[in-house]
Structure 1
Amino acid sequence: MKQYLYASVASIALVSSASAIAQTAPAADPAVGQDPSAAADEGAEDIVVTGIRQSLARAAEIKRESPAVVDSIVAEDIGKLPDLTTASALQRVPGVQVVVGGNNEIVGARIRGLDDIITTLNGREIFTGVGRGFSFQDLPAEALAGVDVYKSSSAERIEGGVAGGVDMRLRRALDFKELTIAGSARATYLKEAGSDDTLNPAVSLLVANRWSTGAGDIAAMLGISYQRNKYARPIAWNDWTRATSAAPAGSPQNLHAPTGFAAGVEFGHYERPQANFSLEWAPDPTSKIYVEGLFAGYRGNVFQARPTFRAYTGSSFTATAGDTCEDFAVGPDGYYSGNVRSPSNPTGTGTIRQLCNATGYTARNLEYYTATVANRARTDIYVLATGFNKEFGALTWNTDISYESSTNRNNSFRVDIGKRIAELTQIRDVNHEVQATTPGNPMNDPAGLAFANGMTEDINRSRGTLWAVMSDMKYDFGGGFLDHLQAGVRIARRKADFEQYLGGPPAPGGSFVTPLSAAGLPSDILVQAPGVPQMNEGASFLQIDPNYLLQEDIKRQLRTLYRISPNTPAFDPTRDYDAQEKSYAGFIQAGYNIALGDTIAIDGMVGLRVTRTDRDIAGSGRVTDPATSTSSVVLVQRSTSDTDLLPNASARIKFGGGLQSRFNYSKTLSRPSFGQLNPGLSYVVSYVNTIQNSGSGGNPDLKPQKADSFDASLEYYFGSSNYVSVVAFYRDIKDRIISGTEARTIDGLQYVISTPRNLGAAKIKGLEVGGQLFLDFLPEGLDGLGVIGNFTIIDSEVTTPGDRLEGLPLLGVSKYNYNAGLIFEKYGISARAIYTYRSQYFDGDITNGLSLRPVSIPVGLNGIRAAGRLDFGLNYDLTPDITISLAGTNVTGQRTRNFESREDFVREVRNDDTTYSLGVRFNF
Structure 2
Amino acid sequence: MKVWLRASVAMIALAGGAHAAIAQTAAAPDPVANQQADSPTAADPQDGASEIVVTGIRQSLARAAEIKRESTAVVDSIVAEDIGKLPDLTTASALQRVPGVQVVVGGNNEIVGARIRGLDDIVTTLNGREIFTGVGRGFAFQDLPAEALAGVDVYKSNSAERIEGGVAGGVNLRLRRALDFKELTLSGSARATYLQEAGSKNTINPAVSLLAANRWSTGIGDIAAMASLSYQRNEYARPIAWNDWTRSTNAAPGSTTPNLQSPTGFAAATEFGHYERPQANFSVEWAPDTSTKIYVEGLYAGYRGNVFQARPTFRGFTATSFQAQAGDTCEDFAVGPDGYYTSNLRGPANPTGTGTIQRLCNATGYTARNLEYYTATVANKASTDIYVMATGFNKEFGALTWNTDFSYESSTSRNNSFRVDIGKRIPELIQVRDVDHEVQATMPGNPMNDPAGLTFVNGMTEDINRSRGTLWSVMSDMKYDFDGVLDYIQGGVRVARRKADFEQYLGGPPAPGGSFVTPLATAGLPADILAQAPGVPQMNEGASFLQIDPEYLLKESIKRQFRTLYRISPDTPAFDPTRDYDAQEKAYAGFLQAGYAFGLSDTISVDGMVGARLTRTDRTIAGAGRVTDPVTSTSRVVLVNRSTSDTDLLPNASARIKFGGGLQARFNYSKTLSRPSFGQLNPGLSYVVSYVNTIQNSGSGGNPDLKPQKADSYDASLEYYFGRSNYVSAVAFYRDIKDRVITGTEVRTIDSLQYVISTPRNLGSAKIKGIEVGGQLFLDFLPEGLDGAGLIGNFTIIDSEVTTPGDRLQGLPLLGVSKYNFNAGLIYEKYGVSARAIYTYRSQYFDADITNGLSLRPVSIPVGLNGIRAAGRLDFGLNYDLTSNITVSLAGTNVTGQRTRNFESREDFVREVRNDDTTYSLGVRFNF
Q: Normalising by structure 2, report the TM-score.
A: 0.97
Matches within 5 A, 1:497-896: 497-622=501-626, 631-846=635-850, 848-896=852-900
Matches within 5 A, 1:49-68: 49-68=54-73
Compared CA separation, residues 51 and 629, structure 1 to 2 (3 A):
closer
Query: Which residue of 2 is the match for residue 234 of structure 1?
Result: 239
- Give the Cα separation in 2 of the matches to 1:12 and 1:742: 41
Matches within 5 A, 1:1-400: 4-6=5-7, 7-9=10-12, 10-13=15-18, 18-21=23-26, 22-25=28-31, 27=35, 31-35=43-47, 38-40=48-50, 46=52, 48-192=53-197, 194=199, 196-400=201-405
Structure 2 counterpart SS, 1:879: coil
Higher alpha-carbon deviation: 658-667 or 68-77: 68-77
Contact 2:261 2:362 in 1 (8 A): yes
- Give the Cα separation in 2 of the matches to 1:907 and 1:854: 16
Structure 2 counterpart SS, 1:5: helix
- Give the Cα separation in 2 of the matches to 1:582 and 1:602: 39
- Structure 2 counterpart of 1:32, one-letter code: D
Q: What whole-Å deviation, never above 9, does each CA across 1:292-338 have from its counterpart, x for those lacking one? A: 00000000000000000000000011111111111111111111111
Compared CA separation, residues 15 and 110, structure 1 to 2 (3 A):
closer
Compared CA separation, residues 369 and 15, structure 1 to 2 (3 A):
closer
Compared CA separation, residues 533 and 608, structure 1 to 2 (3 A):
same
Higher alpha-carbon deviation: 762-771 or 321-330: 321-330
- Give the Cα separation in 2 of the matches to 1:739 and 1:325: 32
Alignment root-mean-square deviation, CA: 1.6
- Give the Cα separation in 2 of the matches to 1:235 and 1:759: 32
Structure 1 counterpart SS, 2:460: strand
- Give the Cα separation in 2 of the matches to 1:375 and 1:515: 25
Contact 2:2 2:878 in 1 (8 A): no
The CA deviation at 1:553 is 0.6
- Structure 1 counterpart of 2:777, one-letter code: L
- Structure 1 counterpart of 2:482, one-letter code: F
Higher alpha-carbon deviation: 568-577 or 295-304: 568-577
- Structure 2 counterpart of 1:729, one-letter code: F
The CA deviation at 1:690 is 1.5
- Give the Cα separation in 2 of the matches to 1:514 and 1:623: 30
- Structure 1 counterpart of 2:253, one-letter code: P
Unaligned stretches of 5+ residues in structure 2: none
- Give the Cα separation in 2 of the matches to 1:568 and 1:848: 35
Contact 2:254 2:319 in 1 (8 A): no
Higher alpha-carbon deviation: 488-497 or 251-260: 251-260
The CA deviation at 1:248 is 2.1
Structure 1 counterpart SS, 2:459: strand
- Structure 2 counterpart of 1:204, one-letter code: S
- Structure 1 counterpart of 2:49, one-letter code: A
Contact 1:366 1:423 in 2 (8 A): yes
The CA deviation at 1:195 is 5.7
Higher alpha-carbon deviation: 411-420 or 338-347: 338-347
- Give the Cα separation in 1 of the matches to 2:333 and 2:445: 37
Query: Which residue of 2 is the match for residue 483 of structure 1?
Result: 487
- Give the Cα separation in 2 of the matches to 1:847 and 1:298: 36
Unaligned stretches of 5+ residues in structure 1: none
- Give the Cα separation in 2 of the matches to 1:64 and 1:92: 18
Query: Which residue of 2 is the match for residue 449 of structure 1?
Result: 454
The CA deviation at 1:481 is 1.1
Compared CA separation, residues 337 and 743, structure 1 to 2 (3 A):
closer
Q: What whole-Å deviation, never above 9, does each CA across 1:567-602 have from its counterpart, x for those lacking one? A: 111111121000000000000000011210101011
- Give the Cα separation in 2 of the matches to 1:211 and 1:624: 67
| Percentage of matched positions with identical amino acids | 85
The CA deviation at 1:753 is 2.7
- Give the Cα separation in 1 of the matches to 2:188 and 2:755: 55
Structure 2 counterpart SS, 1:844: strand
Q: What whole-Å deviation, never above 9, does each CA across 1:228-267 have from its counterpart, x for those lacking one? A: 0000000000000111111124421121110000000000
Compared CA separation, residues 60 and 391, structure 1 to 2 (3 A):
same
The CA deviation at 1:860 is 1.1
- Give the Cα separation in 2 of the matches to 1:534 and 1:493: 50
Q: What whole-Å deviation, never above 9, does each CA across 1:330-367 have from its counterpart, x for those lacking one? A: 11111111112222222221111111111110000000
Contact 1:576 1:620 in 2 (8 A): yes
- Give the Cα separation in 2 of the matches to 1:49 and 1:754: 54
Compared CA separation, residues 750 and 250, structure 1 to 2 (3 A):
closer
The CA deviation at 1:622 is 3.1
Structure 1 counterpart SS, 2:64: helix
- Give the Cα separation in 2 of the matches to 1:571 and 1:30: 57
Contact 1:120 1:167 in 2 (8 A): yes
- Structure 1 counterpart of 2:210, one-letter code: L
- Give the Cα separation in 2 of the matches to 1:337 and 1:693: 15
Compared CA separation, residues 250 and 234, structure 1 to 2 (3 A):
closer
- Give the Cα separation in 2 of the matches to 1:540 and 1:848: 35
Q: What whole-Å deviation, never above 9, does each CA across 1:740-789 have from its counterpart, x for those lacking one? A: 44443434433233332324211000000001000000000000000000
- Give the Cα separation in 2 of the matches to 1:573 and 1:746: 20
- Give the Cα separation in 1 of the matches to 2:167 and 2:556: 44
Query: Which residue of 2 is the match for residue 919 of structure 1?
Result: 923
Higher alpha-carbon deviation: 750-759 or 220-229: 750-759
* Count of aligned positions: 914
Contact 2:744 2:848 in 1 (8 A): no
The CA deviation at 1:14 is 5.2
Q: What whole-Å deviation, never above 9, does each CA across 1:705-724 have from its counterpart, x for those lacking one? A: 00000000000011110000
- Structure 2 counterpart of 1:308, one-letter code: T
- Structure 1 counterpart of 2:808, one-letter code: R
- Give the Cα separation in 2 of the matches to 1:901 and 1:858: 10
Compared CA separation, residues 433 and 624, structure 1 to 2 (3 A):
closer
- Structure 2 counterpart of 1:63, one-letter code: K
- Give the Cα separation in 1 of the matches to 2:217 and 2:286: 10
- Give the Cα separation in 1 of the matches to 2:563 and 2:250: 39
Structure 1 counterpart SS, 2:740: strand
The CA deviation at 1:638 is 1.3
- Give the Cα separation in 2 of the matches to 1:615 and 1:193: 47
